[in-house]
Amino acid sequence: MSAAEARRSEVAAEAADPAIPLAPTRWLPPQLFLLYGLAGVVFHFAVRGPLVLRLRWPGGALLVIGAALTLWGAYTVLHSGTTILPYRRTTALVERGPFRLTRNPMYLGMVVMLLGSALALGTVGPWFVAVALLATLQWRFVRHEERALEYALGAPYRAYKRRVRRWL
């Protein structure tokens, strides 16, 4: 059985449980981030619209900050004894590290990286791509994950939601 087939059967086995936040896509967030990032670069070079705001150093700094936030979030989740995969059941509420500041540090980090690249490139296309990634993550992942977390963790998650913002 290939890795893709194993993942599909794993997803199908858990699909009957409404608490599992199955995203309506086969693409995982890091894959979408890479695809959208590539699209931003293609738009920059292919369309070559007017420069709207080009700040290379601040854009590079945002890239580094976004990468650090994403990695910090992933590290925190993995060391909390729960899963990082959006199609798996969450077993613990993670409230430490970057999760004190945002409920979605890994997704926020990905969006910040694309905003950094848009700032560094300076044309309009990459800005639209960054906003499109934010909308895609919200629509395909965040809303499902929040519903599943509330179902699985109950009152502690609802209290966490009241204390910590979804994005910033």
**Token reading at 160:** 């966490």
Mean pLDDT, range 115-129, rounded to an integer? 94
- Separation of alpha carbons 50 and 145, rounded Å: 38
Hey, where are the domains in the chain? 27-46+53-85+92-163
DSSP-assigned beta bridge partners for residue 51: 123
- Separation of alpha carbons 145 and 126, rounded Å: 27
Which residue is it, tokens 């990905």? 110
Provide the pLDDT for residue 12.
54
Q: Read off the pLDDT band of 76 (50, 70, 90).
A: very high
Q: What percent of the chain has pLDDT over 90?
A: 65
User: Could you give phi then psi for residue 4, rounded to 5 degrees?
Assistant: -65, -40
User: Side chain identity at 76, as an amino acid letter?
Assistant: T
Residue 11's H or E segment, with its range, is: helix 3-14
Q: Is the pLDDT of residue 66 over 90?
A: yes
What pLDDT, in 10s, does the model give residues 135-150? Answer: 999 999 999 899 989 9
Mean pLDDT, range 41-68, rounded to an integer? 90
